[in-house]
Structure 1
Amino acid sequence: MKNRSLLKLASAVTVMTLGGVGYAAHRRSRNPYYEGPASDHFDGTRFFSPGQPQDKDVAALARWQFGGGREAWPSRFPSPFPADAPPERSDALRVVHIGHASLLIQVAGRNILIDPVYANRASPVGFAGPRRANPPGIAFAALPPIDAVLITHNHYDHLDGPTLARLWAEHEPAFVAPLGNDAILRSYDATMRVEARDWGDTVDLGGGLTVHLTPAYHWSARGVNDRRMALWCAFVLTTPQGVLYHVGDTGYGDGAIFRDVRARFGPPRLATLPIGAYEPRWFMQAQHMNPEEAVRALGEVGAAQALGHHWGTFRLTNEGIERPVAALAEALDAQGLPAERFLALRPGQVWTG
C-alpha cells in the first residue's frame, strides 16, 4: 500500500513537472485549453509530434521510478557567478542564465524572458517535487523592464504561473506561447495579454524583432488528465543582431527539426539548447536530448555559438548534477570542437556576443 501511494505521488509530480511520461491509457476527454481544426500535429483533442513516440505506460513509469540508478545530488549547488544586475537596456546581444531553462535575452534595446521560473519547487505542489539547488541568477527585483515573455510549453519547470502573474502585474509584457497555453496563463490572471500561436506562426515584437514558433519533439501536461492538450514549441528570434534559436525541451529524433531551422533562417548566431534531464535513455530519449545529441543538434543547425541550459538547478532525472557538463566536454572533444563553442551555463552567467 505504501509503495502504491508513493508511486501515485511520484507519477503525478513526474507527469506534471517533467513530461517524461504520458499514460498510454489516458482518458479521451474534451480539451479544456484549445478548440480548433485537426492538423498534421493536432487530432482534434491532443497535439502530437508527427512520426515521434508520445506516451509511455504506467509500467514504464514504475520501472523508472523504482528501478534504481539515480546518482546523488547535493542539496545545494551554488553558482560560481554572482547574481547578475542587468542594464536597463542593451543594443548589443546579452544573454543571462537565470537557472534551469530560464533566460533573459537583451537585444536591440528589448528585454525578453524565456520560461522564467522563480518558484522554489518545479512542481504543482509546495511540499513535493524538485527543489531548487541554487537561487535565480537574477533576483526578481533586479529584472530590467520586461517587454516580452516567451513560454515554450506548460510543464512546471518551464511555466511558473505565479511568477508570470507577477511579471504581468509589474511589467505588463507581451506573452507569446504555443496554442492552448493562453488559457493556462490567463487562469493566473485573466487580464494577461497572450499571443497564442501554432508552429510556423510569427509574432512581431517591434524594434525589428520577430519571434517564430518552430516544432520540438516533446509534449505537455499540467495535470494527470490533460496530456498533450496544449502545444509545445521552440523559438527562433530574428533580430538586428542576428538569428537566435532557443529550444526549451526536445528529443533529437532524426535531427530534421534542426536542419529545417537552418534551411529556413540560415545558421543562427546563437543556439540555446538543453543538455540535462536525459537519464535513463530508454525512458527519456524521445523527449530530452543528452549532451552528445545536443552537440549533434548544434552541427545540424549550424549555429556559431551554443549555450547549454536545463541542468544543475532542479533534479528531474537520474544523472548526477555535474554529469551533463562532463558529457558535453566529451561530446565536443569527439567532434573536434573547442569547448568555448558550446558553454554549459550556470545561474548568473552572462554571455555577450
Structure 2
Amino acid sequence: MQLTHLGHAAVLVEVADRRILIDPGNFSSAWHNLRDLDAVLVTHQHPDHIDPEQVGGLLANNPQAAVHVEPQVLKAVDLGERGEPLAADGSIDLGAVRVDAVGGLHAVIHRDIPQIGNVGLVISAAGEPTLFHPGDSLATVPLGIDVLAVPAYGPWAAMKETIDFARAVNAADGFPIHDGLLHERGVKLIYGRLEAMTATQMHDLRAGKPWTL
C-alpha cells in the first residue's frame, strides 16, 4: 500500500493495482491534475471533502474511474451520471480492493446545526495493510485497522476526543488529515499529543510525497 496525503482530507491510496482518491475537497489543489484513477470516494457533502467547482474536471480527466459517494452528496453536488451511492454498512469491490462504509452521521458541530450523512471508509486488500479514513466523525471504531487517517482538527472536534478515538482504533500507524484550518504550530501540537498519548506511530505526510507501508 502506498499513501499520499494531498492536503486536508484528500488522500490517494494505491493498493492492489488500484488508484483510489478519497475526499477531493476545496482546501487543497494537489489532486486537481490526477490521472489514471480507478475510483473516487467521498465521505460526505461538505466542500472541503468534495469541491463542487473542481470535481467535474477531475472526473473528466478520469473517465474510467468509479465514483462512490455518501448518498446525500448526490443531491448536493452535480456529478452528472457518474455518482453511485455508498451508504453506511455498504461495501464495494474495486478489483482486489474492498471498501466498507461505516458510521452514517457527521459529527455534531452544534446542536442547532442539523447533522448530515458521513461514511467512514475502510479500505483493505489481501496481504496489505487496512486503512481507515473516517471523514468527519469519530463515532465509529472498526476492528482490524492498521493505518488510521486521523482528523487533526475540525469545528466539531476537541483534542480529548481525537486522542480517545486514536486510542480506541489502536492502529499501528497513523497520519494527520483534516488539517486545513491549522497553522504550523497547531499541527505540531496535535501531532505531538497523538504521538505521545497513543500507541499509534504517527507519520507527517504533509509534504505530499508517497509513503509506502
Smaller-chain TM-score range?
0.7 to 0.9
Question: Equivalent of 1:238, from 124, 129, 147?
Answer: 124
Contact 1:236–1:246, Cα closer than 8 Å, also in 2 = yes
1:213 and 2:81 correspond: no
**Does the 8 Å CA contact 1:274/1:308 hold for their aligned counterparts?**
yes
Task: Tell whether 2:198 aligns with 1:198.
Answer: no
Residue by residue, what CA displacement relative to the aligned partner does 1:264-288 show, whole Å, maximum 9, x if unpaired? xxx22211111123xxxxxx4xx32
The counterpart of 1:346, out of the listed 195, 199, 206, is 206
The DSSP-based 3-state class of the residue aligned with 2:81 is coil
Q: 1: CA distance between counterparts of 2:76 and 2:134? A: 21
Larger Rg over CA atoms: 1
Q: 1:248 aligns with which of 116, 126, 135?
A: 135
Q: 1:111 to 1:289 in 2, by over 3 A?
A: farther
Higher relative contact order, structure no. (Cα contacts within 8 Å, ≥ 6 residues apart): 1
Cα distance between partner residues in 2 of 1:331 and 1:244: 18
Distance change (3 Å), C-alpha of 1:175 and 1:246? same
Match of 2:174 in 1: 306
Deviations 1:168-190 (A, max 9, x none): 211121111112212333x2x42
Shift of 1:344: 3.6
Which residue, out of 149, 153, 157, partners 1:272?
A: 149
Given that 1:219 and 1:231 are in contact with CA atoms closer than 8 Å, whether structure 2 keeps it comes out as no
Partner Cα separation in structure 1 for residue 104 and residue 149 of structure 2: 13
How much has 1:101 moved relative to structure 2? 0.7
Two-structure CA RMSD over aligned residues (Å)? 2.6
SS at match of 1:175: strand
Q: Does the aligned pair in 1 maintain the 2:32–2:58 contact within 8 Å? A: no
How has the CA–CA distance of structure 1 residues 300 and 174 changed in structure 2, closer, same or farther, with 3 Å as cutoff? same
Query: Matched residue of 1:145: which SS?
Result: coil
Query: CA–CA distance in 1 between the matches of 2:117 and 2:193?
Result: 34
Counterpart secondary structure, 2:145: coil
Higher percent of residues as strand: 2
Output the TM-score relative to the length of structure 2.
Answer: 0.84
Q: Larger % of helix: which?
A: 1
Matches for 1:1-353 after TM superposition, within 5 Å = 93-117=1-25, 119=26, 122=27, 136=29, 138=30, 140-141=32-33, 143-172=34-63, 173-185=65-77, 187=78, 189-192=79-82, 194-206=83-95, 208-215=96-103, 218=106, 227-228=114-115, 231-240=117-126, 241-250=128-137, 252=138, 257-258=140-141, 261-262=142-143, 267-277=144-154, 284=155, 287-290=156-159, 292-311=160-179, 313=180, 315=181, 320-335=183-198, 337=199, 341-353=201-213
* Cα-to-partner distance string for 1:299-329 (whole Å, 9 max, x where unaligned): 2122121111111x3x3xxx65421322331
Which moves more between the two structures, 164-173 or 320-329?
320-329
Cα offsets for 1:85-126 (capped at 9, x unmatched): xxxxxxxx1111111111111111110001113x4xx5xxxx
SS at match of 1:211: strand
CA contact (8 A) 1:275 1:289 kept: no
Does the aligned pair in 2 maintain the 1:215–1:233 contact within 8 Å?
A: yes
Q: Secondary structure at the match of 2:150?
A: strand
Structure 1 runs not aligned, ≥5 long: 1-92, 123-131, 221-225, 278-283
- 349 and 178 in structure 1: CA distance in 2 versus 1, 3 angstrom threshold: same
Q: Could you tell me whether the CA contact under 8 Å between 2:152 and 2:176 is conserved in 1?
A: yes
For residues 183-234 of structure 1, what are the alpha-carbon distances to aligned partners after superposition, in whole Å with 9 as ceiling and x for unaligned? 333x2x4232x2203211111222x1111110165259xxxxx954x52111
Whole-angstrom distance in 2 between the partners of 1:107 and 1:289: 32
Structure 2 portions without partners, runs of 5+: none
